[in-house]
Amino acid sequence: MLWKLLFHRASKKTRILHRAQVVNAVIDIFYDAEHRIDICGNSKFPPLIFSFEPIKKAILAAKNNGIRQRYIVEITKENIQYCKELIKLVKDLRHSDQIENNFGLNEIEYLGSVSLQQERLQATYCNIKEVVEQQHYIFDSLWNKSIYADEKIREIEEGIESEFYEVITDNEKAKDVYIDLAKSIKKLYYSLQIAKPYLGQIN
């Protein structure tokens, strides 16, 4: 494992993969990981994961090795059963409807624009440090805005409409929101004070 990681770090590259190369690269994302694996997929991604037995085995191998796996997928009525199966394999599964491309990464490799459809197996591979770090940032941003899979599954099964909300993790942004809210309350208070004498005249 060590020599393979050193080889990847020494040979920086970006290339387009096709057919069997794609499946092998997805599997390598799991087996090359040291501590973390991040996977992001659209609504078609969960069924495709289970259509490739070697990928399912790689997920289980990473789990048994204690590697943290985080998944963000678009959970729908059509793929809900596959998502339930995925929850059995991994703990950290969340939902987002803002996913445009399928991608996965570990500490040293990024696999983007992944298509696992049999007629069009294709992906972009990159192990350039700056690119991988940027994709980790993108994944973390999506993760912070996503909701727990159990919550989305319950909404679908019970016919509950999703509420829109944003989790604010940036301290400066949170402070700005708090200040704006305080200003709005203050304006409302002064407006009521000015209007108070007139309100008393209304019968």
Q: Does the pLDDT at position 51 exceed 90?
A: no
What's the CA gap between 47 and 87, in Å, rounded?
A: 13
Residue 165, pLDDT score: 44
Q: Does the pLDDT at position 30 exceed 70?
A: yes
Give the bridge partners for 95, in sequence order. 73, 147
What's the CA gap between 39 and 56, in Å, rounded?
A: 13
Residue 48, pLDDT score: 85
What's the CA gap between 71 and 46, in Å, rounded?
A: 10
* Among 36, 38, 34, CA closest to 1: 34
What's the CA gap between 190 and 181, in Å, rounded?
A: 15
Could you identify the residue written with the tokens 């020599």?
Answer: 3
| Segments of the chain assigned E as strands | 14-18, 36-41, 68-73, 92-95, 103-105, 110-117, 120-126, 147-148
What's the CA gap between 125 and 114, in Å, rounded?
A: 9
Confidence of residue 91 (pLDDT cuts 50, 70, 90): confident
Query: Cβ atoms within 10 A of the Cβ of 139, count?
Result: 20
- What does the mean pLDDT of the chain come to? 81
Q: Who wins on pLDDT, 90 or 163?
A: 90
Contact 72, 40 (CB under 8 A): yes
Q: Could you tell me the CA-to-CA distances from 152 to 78, 156, 197 in Å, in that order?
A: 13, 6, 49
Residue 181, pLDDT score: 59
**What is the SS3 assignment for 168?**
coil
Residue 34, pLDDT score: 94
Per-residue pLDDT reduced to its tens digit, 11-25:
678 899 988 899 999
What's the CA gap between 72 and 149, in Å, rounded?
A: 9
Q: Who wins on pLDDT, 70 or 162?
A: 70
Spell out the domain ranges in the chain: 2-158, 168-203
> How is domain 2-158 classified at the CATH fold level?
Endonuclease; Chain A (3.30.870)
What's the CA gap between 71 and 86, in Å, rounded?
A: 9
Per-residue pLDDT reduced to its tens digit, 140-187:
999 999 999 999 999 999 987 554 444 555 555 556 655 655 655 555
For strand 92-95 and strand 147-148, is the pairing parallel, antiparallel, or unpaired? antiparallel
Q: Does the pLDDT at position 136 exceed 60?
A: yes
Q: Who wins on pLDDT, 96 or 119?
A: 96
Per-residue pLDDT reduced to its tens digit, 111-120:
998 887 766 7
